[in-house]
Amino acid sequence: MKTIRKIMLAGVLLSLAACSDDYLEVQPTEVLSAEQVGEAAEVNEEVAKGTLLGIYENLYRRGSGGTDAQEDFGVTAQFMQMDILSADAAHLGKSYNRQTNISELTATVDPDNQVNYRAWRFLYRVINLSNLVIDAAGGNDVVPETVTGRYTIGQAKALRAYAYYFLIHLYVNDISDLSKPVLPIYTSADELDQPKSPLQDVFNFAISDLLDAEELLDGFVREEKIEINQDVARGLLARVYGAMNNWPKAEEYAKKVVDAGYPIMTADEVALLPGEDGSVGGFNDINTIPGILWGINITPEGQGLASLFSWWGFMDQYSYSYAAVGNPKGIDSGLYSNFRDDDIRKFQFSSSLRPAGKFYYKGAQNNGFRSFSGPQSNIDSDSHYMRSAEMYLLHAEAAAENGNFAAARTSLKALLSLRLDDTSYIDALPNNQLAEEAALQARLELWGEGQSYFIMKRRRETRTRGSNWLDFAGQSFSHDDERLTYEIPQNEILFNTNLNEQN
């Protein structure tokens, strides 16, 4: 809990004005300046480290997107919306009008809608604060002499790259059009109103940051899973290379994470199996699941997340929140039909295809999985951002694309042997179907975990909404459809003199 306490302290320093109308804040007034951090760090390196940990807080805190909306709580809020846009998470109810403008595809075509603003503000804030830490150390080209300094800058660069990876997907319609100017790049907290850079340059900047992070984080042993270590940085590299369809590098880096030895989540960790009490499942405790590589250990006293303002409140039907009272989400019926009869992941879903057996607060099992048997006020169920299963499947996909079919089958079967009674069908699959099978299994394995949207854009897919959708059931959408990508906030275009048009 030492790191969590530091995050709480840093959060005081980096607290954001939730209702501010500021857009890309080059020098937020409520944080320390680069000069102040740099001067303090000369005396005590823990100052820079504490500033870094304050950045992590923005990944999950309410209001990190600069609004007081109940859907404004960092990464997992975006995961939820992206899963809807990807067509894998069907919006099954519209009570309280929560996220209906995502399902109806109206928010994403309105530059004045807060949906577009919240992600932009949140992600560029992570970039700005990361730049603050990097600037304080001397800038992008400096390699700190101390171990603590190297680990701090390595994490800051990885966080900055992660934010750009997110921005590329959320604000660029076609991520294969590498020459198109798409996003401002900020390499320092002092830079003002940058113009759009070509997509290739944004990708290259993210890769450069992550390669630096990989080297700087060599030997880093983290105290909490919220901190990015070398393996997480390599996982992020695999994702970025995959998005670029650089399959040799994607295979290389996914394999590095696989070879690090993190176990794949077991059957009873991923699904509420018949006759079980759910004591080891629910995705609610990252510290008891070694297959989760990166996430946040949430405590009521540490984060104070009310169920109405959390991912759990929107996704867990046992929580006293929207998913339980008419605003549920479930797996797309077309996607669900791809589960084989012997697949234990079918037990993740109820008859109405809600994730009743996948995501559940630990209080639900203690109270017999009855309605509202989960959190009432403060959430203490955790959130995760990366797990080892994803890396096995990304390795299989990339290996197949590279013609390394034996390796692709090995990685696919390593996961599916924990999900199916019989994996022999993998051996019978034609080589040219292996990559698509790996991507499909990733959608099934990672449902509701915010990765389907990235897969859709990585593979340049067209998705069709199933029969259980309330909106556009049976209709198909291409990965580059304008309605599936956020608009740059209108005020950002007005106030940044170097931006004059949407993507």
In percent, the amount of the chain with pLDDT more than 90 equals 74
Q: What is the pLDDT of residue 54?
A: 84
Q: How many CB atoms lie within 10 A of CB 161?
A: 28
- Where is average pLDDT lowest: 44-53, 425-434, 463-472? 44-53
Residue 251 CB contacts under 8 Å (≥ 6 apart), including other chains: 395, 398, 399, 401, 402, 404, 407
| Residue 25, pLDDT above cutoff 60 | no
| Residue 410, pLDDT above cutoff 80 | yes
Bridge partners for 384 per DSSP: 295
Q: How many CB atoms lie within 10 A of CB 112?
A: 11
Give the Cα-Cα-Cα angle 37, 38, 41 (nearest 5 degrees): 80
Phi, psi (degrees; rounded to nearest 5) at 198: -60, 150
Nearest to 381 by CA among 444, 289, 291, 445: 289
Identity of the residue numbered 310: S
DSSP 365-385: HHTTT-TT-S-SSB----EEE
Q: pLDDT digits over 448-458, tens only?
A: 999 999 999 99
H helix intervals, 311-385: 311-315, 333-336, 362-366
Token pair 């080297």 in the structure block, residue? 215
Contact 166, 196 (CB under 8 A): no
Identity of the residue numbered 395: H
Q: pLDDT digits over 33-42, tens only?
A: 555 555 555 5
Q: In angstroms, how far is CA 315 from the centroid of its own chain?
A: 15
| 393: its two tokens | 């499947």
**Cα separation of 361 and 366, whole Å?**
9
Give the Cα-Cα-Cα angle 112, 493, 60 (nearest 5 degrees): 65
Q: What is the pLDDT of residue 5?
A: 41
Q: pLDDT digits over 254-292, tens only?
A: 999 999 999 999 999 999 999 888 888 999 999 999 999
Q: pLDDT digits over 352-388, tens only?
A: 999 999 999 878 888 888 877 765 567 788 999 999 9
Q: What is the pLDDT of residue 294?
A: 98
| Residue 44, pLDDT above cutoff 80 | no
- Domain 1-83+109-228+482-503 architecture: Alpha Horseshoe (1.25)
Cα dihedral 254→256→257→263 (10° resolution): 110
Q: In angstroms, how far is CA 272 from the centroid of its own chain?
A: 24
| Residue 218, pLDDT above cutoff 90 | yes
Contact 282, 381 (CB under 8 A): yes
Q: pLDDT digits over 116-169, tens only?
A: 999 999 999 999 999 999 998 899 999 999 999 999 999 999 999 999 999 999
- Where is average pLDDT lowest: 13-22, 168-177, 191-200? 13-22
| 112: its two tokens | 């004045």
Across the range 295-323, mean pLDDT stands at 80
| Residue 21, pLDDT above cutoff 50 | no
CATH 1.10.3370.10 corresponds to the domain 246-460: no
Determine the length of the chain. 503
3-state secondary structure of 391: helix
How high is the mean pLDDT of the chain?
A: 89
Residue ranges of the chain that CATH labels 1.25.40.390:
1-83+109-228+482-503, 246-460
Q: Is 323 buried (19+), middle (13-18) or exposed (0-12) by CB count in 10 A?
A: buried
| Residue 46, pLDDT above cutoff 80 | no
State how far the alpha carbon of 327 is from the alpha carbons of 96, 193, 332, 470, in Å: 7, 39, 15, 12
**Cα separation of 362 and 342, whole Å?**
26
Q: What is the pLDDT of residue 433?
A: 98
Q: What is the pLDDT of residue 345?
A: 98
- The whole-model pTM stands at 0.92
